[in-house]
Structure 1
Amino acid sequence: MQINSNKVSYQYLESLPIKDKAYFITLIDYKGLRIKVNPSGRISFVTYARIKGGGNPRTITHGSKEKLSLPNAIDLHLQTIDLLEKGIDPNLLKKTKREQFNSSMKFIDIANEYLLKKKSTGEHSTNHSDHNLNYLLSNKLKTFHNDTIESITLDKLEQWWRNNSHTPAASKNALMLLSKIFKHAYSTGLYYLQNNPANEFRRKMLITGQKTSKKQLDIVSEYPEYLYDLCDPMDEHRLNIITRNVIYMMTITGLKKNDILQLKAKQITDNSHITIKKRNKFIQVVPITNDIQSVLNHTYEYLYANTGIYQSEYVFYNPKTGKPITNLRKSLVKLSSSIEWEVHPESIRKSFANICDNVSIPRKHYYQLLGIRESYIPHTDTSLENEQIDKLRLSLIKVQDKINGMCPMIVPGKYDRISDLIFM
């Protein structure tokens, strides 16, 4: 039998008939993933595929000893397929073999895999890739070549930094590369510790990038890194919840920093839209999407839980003082840890504009979303106003879909939106 994954529910699995022999149900939208119904009544999920480059088919059973939800099974299936495509035995997903596998993976192997991936996808130019490989990795990071990635500690980094103090600029770039390799290893399941020693060392030594508010994030190479840090899966940045929510709101709306920091509850019309008065006397309307609503809901719930009462006219405020947030710099410095310069609010807004420009939306909506033109023409018939807002909402959703799709932490079927990751 073949079915779509959206038909699989707890009730569906509980109602499957038990037979004398095990039988399988194929999920059409996830190639190679099957539901296995065992004679004992136990339900498990099975990945069946070949290692890239040949070899016998490999079968991996997910949930042999414990019940799994479908999203968890899909997550494990995607990890398995990723390993298969790299030519790695997916049996290494099993916990019993994880330690043995990690001890056999040298830092140089993971680093080469990362650089090859970035070059093959076009995220790194040939010149940039060659510089990373032939100078930063082969020369500046040579000390760590034969180490396992888990054995590279903060103490080792401090010693390495002292030994390379004669080339501070190159050492800084090498440290940046090392940080990205740690993130690659974590996101691909090759590193399991909840910390990034390269980033810890950068914070300890106050190593930051060039200061600029003019530059925008490179959409191909830097923007995904920024979104990764915003999700912060290792909890290494420990961002203030409210300032993180403000920055996320800036990311998905393109609103100016002060428009969000000064946002008041009375500017929000139900679940429909936000109105912002601009200096040139017109009103910008921001349609409320599911992503925006998730920010507003989480912020309200967090502040109410910490104060027992929503005690300010502002949407984003300090729960201790009741006053609006005024400074995002500390959080933005942390979110710049993977980028060679310091991200500023205007950088985020410019990147949003760049994404709007590359998404198929009406040109007038581009200007309206950026607050450059009137968001809608007032009508005595409110239904016409609502229709204009609804059309603008559809364009904003397209832009937000694009932003979500660029986040490297998205896992279809489990984490479909950035909000699923940061508001867990």
Structure 2
Amino acid sequence: MPDPTPKHPPVKLTKGYVDRVKPGQNDEYHWDAETKGFGLRVNPSGRMNFIVQGRIDPRKPPARITIGAYGVFTVDQARDVAREHLRSMRMGIDPREVKREDEAKAVTLRQVADAFFARPGMLKENTRDEMDRHLTTAFAKWLPRAIASITPNDCRKRYEEIATKGLRKTPAPAPGSAASAFKILRTLINFAMEEYQTQDGAPLIARNPVAIIKKELAAHESKVRTRHIDRRDVGKFWHHLTTARQNPAFSADTRCGIDLVMFLLLTGTRRNEGAMLTWDRVNLDDADPANNWFHLPDPKNKNPVWLPLSSQAVAVLKARQLAEEKTGTKSKFVFPSRSAAGHIKDTRPVGIQIRAVTCTR
């Protein structure tokens, strides 16, 4: 960068001098006679910024760094900053790289998560929502914290808290929730290790602190893969669903949630795929039962599918149509809700209410 040709001879920059400066038709530079390389840039609009200019590498053009605006910095404050920058430059240190590293060290878990979620085409909306739900419930106190400050001991302590006490007001072991939350945290820290670096190009986080509970996460994954539901319990659960659906004390959302659970059992559809199903992707044909089907345009494997509906699944969908007719409401979603999303998002409250009903009998 060639040195600008100053229109004004170097002077000792003072408050009085700066206050008297008038803007010109182009950017003008006023250099300090006391600290070489320290100056004031004034643009035609009258905005004034303190700057510092010096060489980091004698083989390269000088680097010019903006310190900040006059008013935010006094002349003396800006001069002190300039001297620190010039001292670093003489040692071959680029203050801009130091600033970038400091900013990277301060980046919070919330900021990393937002950057991870914002990548176009990488995650489905329901996946982002699920990951964010785990973050805000399991790591609420960590979200404003610098991600580089999370230690292995922090991870060990928080994992054991969730695994033994859970995340609800009533303490209950929740090793599954603990494992799910820390898998997400591990993913976000891996992302941060790739995105944020030190001045010499090394990862800002040398080792993922979640690795301290690697064995626990692996053990949970093994248990999940080998878990099966006893077929005899399916019939019991179906009976509870059909009985609970007739309970007049349940809200419309709860009955809709029961219908969703029944639909998932009958079709094998993933929870979010069933919850987000819209009527324009459902075909019900009373004249031809073989022509009853529903369409999933964007399943997890990215391959659109058209799936047949059994007579029981058709009955569930017709029950949904009848419920809408009775209430006089119309939603594009098959399983609507009063939530902001417009559809049922979480089926766990359904299970809790059904257990409450069946346990009192």
Name the TM tier (shorter chain): under 0.3
TM (norm. structure 2) is 0.25
TM (norm. structure 1) is 0.22
Which structure ranks higher in relative contact order (CA pairs < 8 Å, sequence separation ≥ 6)? 1
- Which protein has the larger Cα radius of gyration, Structure 1 or Structure 2? 2
